[in-house]
Amino acid sequence: MIKVVTSEERHTSDRGWIHSEFSFSFADYEDPSNAHFGCLLAHNDNILMPQEGFKKHPHHDLEIVSYVISGTLKHTDSMGTEQLLEAGTVQVMSAGTGVEHSETNPATDEPVRFLQMWFLPSQRMLKPSYAYRKIEESAHLNRLCPVVSAASGPSDESIDEDPLRIAQDVTCYLSKLESGKKLMFPQHEERRTHLFLINGHLEIQCSDGNFNLKPGDAARIRKSCDLQMTSTGSEPAEFVLVDLP
């Protein structure tokens, strides 16, 4: 079963200093029928203006995954982390027993666009942790590159190639699919799939039919479905695919 959520169906929040598109209930957007998809609680597409940001604020018992699409995002937290995250960087923060952090745009002339996803953890009261990884284009060009996963964490031998660890049975893939190229993703009966198209145009096919996605569109998929994805535009299709229980 596939449900396509178009870009226009998302909730728009524009405060001037930040423009956000919420895929699920968040902040001033309340919709009990659209509160989550499995353990995925939030999927926010943010554009943060230069020299603006979120002041330090608390979180607990959340697994927070961010992906910087363009610009630079500055992250600081109560664990002592201070990091400049360039475009193409994935960040994971486990809030656990409690952490405070801030997210700001240090640039004077360029906005920063970043996706942020919130997941319920597999267990509460974990020790807070933080990690990040720059994803080179070659790593996710015409393939599904696992960037976040519960299955494995960084190893001493190949840190750059291993996905970041998350405290939930979730795998996040990143892909940049060139025009005309295809990928397959075999979904299992008991799993869910959330696919979000960042740029380009993508056709998805399975037993439910064919669906064409444009930038900002998402597909929520349940039950068994061998998903075929084809880049149909003149530009590459960049997307995030999340496999979750």
Dihedral sign for Cα 184, 7, 140, 131, please. Answer: negative
Question: Measured in whole angstroms, how far is the alpha carbon of residue 168 from the centre of its chain?
Answer: 14
Report, in angstroms and rounded to the nearest whole number, the Rg of the chain calculated over CA atoms: 17
Annotated ligand binding at 201? The verdict is no
For the residues 202-221, what does the mean pLDDT come to? 95
DSSP per-residue letters across 62-125: -EEEEEEEESEEEEEETTS-EEEEETTEEEEEE-TT-EEEEEE---SS--EEEEEEEE--SSSS
Which of 41, 33, 27, 40 minimizes the C-alpha distance to 9? 33
Of the chain, the end-to-end C-alpha distance in Å amounts to 15
- What is residue 151's predicted lDDT score, i.e. its pLDDT? 53
Q: Which two tokens stand for residue 121?
A: 């953890």
The range of the structural domain enclosing residue 78 comes to 2-244
Question: Global pTM?
Answer: 0.94
Query: Going by DSSP bridges, is the β-strand pair 164-165/145-149 parallel, antiparallel, or unpaired?
Result: parallel
Q: How far is the C-alpha of 51 from the C-alpha of 37, rounded, in Å? A: 33
- CATH number of the domain within which 239 lies: 2.60.120.10
Residue corresponding to tokens 């909730």: 11
The model's pLDDT over 7-29, given as tens digits with 9 standing for 90+, comes to 999 999 999 999 999 999 999 89
Annotated ligand binding at 59? The verdict is yes
Task: State how many domains the chain has.
Answer: 1
Is residue 185 scored above 90 in pLDDT? yes
**Residue of 161 and 221 predicted with greater confidence:** 221
- What is residue 155's predicted lDDT score, i.e. its pLDDT? 41
